[in-house]
Amino acid sequence: MIPSRQQILKYINISIIIIGIFLVFHGITNALFSKHPENELSSKSVTHSSLITGIIVISYSIYCFKQYINYNKKEMYLLIISIGCLIIMYCILSIFTNSITTYSINSIIKKEQLIGVENEFNCCGWKEPRNYCSSKILPTCYHVLITPHNTYKTITSLITLLEIIHIVILLIGTCISYKPTKRKEDFYSMYTNIGEK
């Protein structure tokens, strides 16, 4: 059985809500477990981006889910499409900003050089004493500095893709169900008729 357009929209919004919860959880855990002072600025940017984006997409999807009960209101669909396009632009801009951040970190400190950085900064705050860093093969600094940004980009990219599908389905559905009125009255004649009554 093929699901209806309204059911597909509901499934998409449920998926966005679930992924948005993961994004909020990512922001909270990043704030709790990334305590190294050298990573404070990068950590805060990921935490704030994750929490803000997660709360926005969850609130929007819950609003959409509630509004789909009023299936025949075209004005409501136009509002949902407009807000959805703004959210898509925000997500794309946020992904672009995080990409610049990770590129900058990779440009400043190469992955093979991070072992030396770990020796200096106590393994980015994850392990002590320093001799633990000397015995490591893979640097943990890379995971502390880069991985939170990559995780955020992956989750936000998935949300953006689902949101684009959501908006495209809404646009197609709105165009298909649109029926132009056949009335030839202009505003002047309409108000004249109201005055005569």
pLDDT tens, 88-106?
999 999 889 888 877 777 6
User: Kind and range of the H or E element at 129?
Assistant: none
State the CB neighbour count (10 A cutoff) for residue 66. 10
Q: Is residue 122 part of a domain?
A: yes
Write the pLDDT tens digit of every residue in 7-31.
Answer: 788 888 889 999 999 999 988 888 7
Interacting residues of 173 by C-beta distance below 8 A, sequence separation 6+: 5, 77
pLDDT at position 99, please? 84
pLDDT of residue 129: 46
**61 in Cβ contact with 20 (< 8 Å):** yes
Q: Is 192 a domain residue?
A: no
pLDDT < 70 stretches in the chain: 1-3, 34-43, 69-75, 106-144, 177-197
34 within some domain: yes
In this structure, what token pair is assigned to residue 139?
Answer: 């640097």
Task: Confirm whether 181 is domain-assigned.
Answer: no
| Number of domains the chain contains | 1
pTM for this entry: 0.69
For residue 195, what is the enclosing H or E element?
Answer: helix 187-196
Nearest to 46 by CA among 24, 29, 30: 30
| 155 occurs within a structural domain | yes
In a domain, 189, yes or no: no
Does residue 165 form part of some domain? yes
pLDDT given at position 192: 44
Residue 196 lies in a domain: no
- State the residue range of the domain holding 52: 5-176
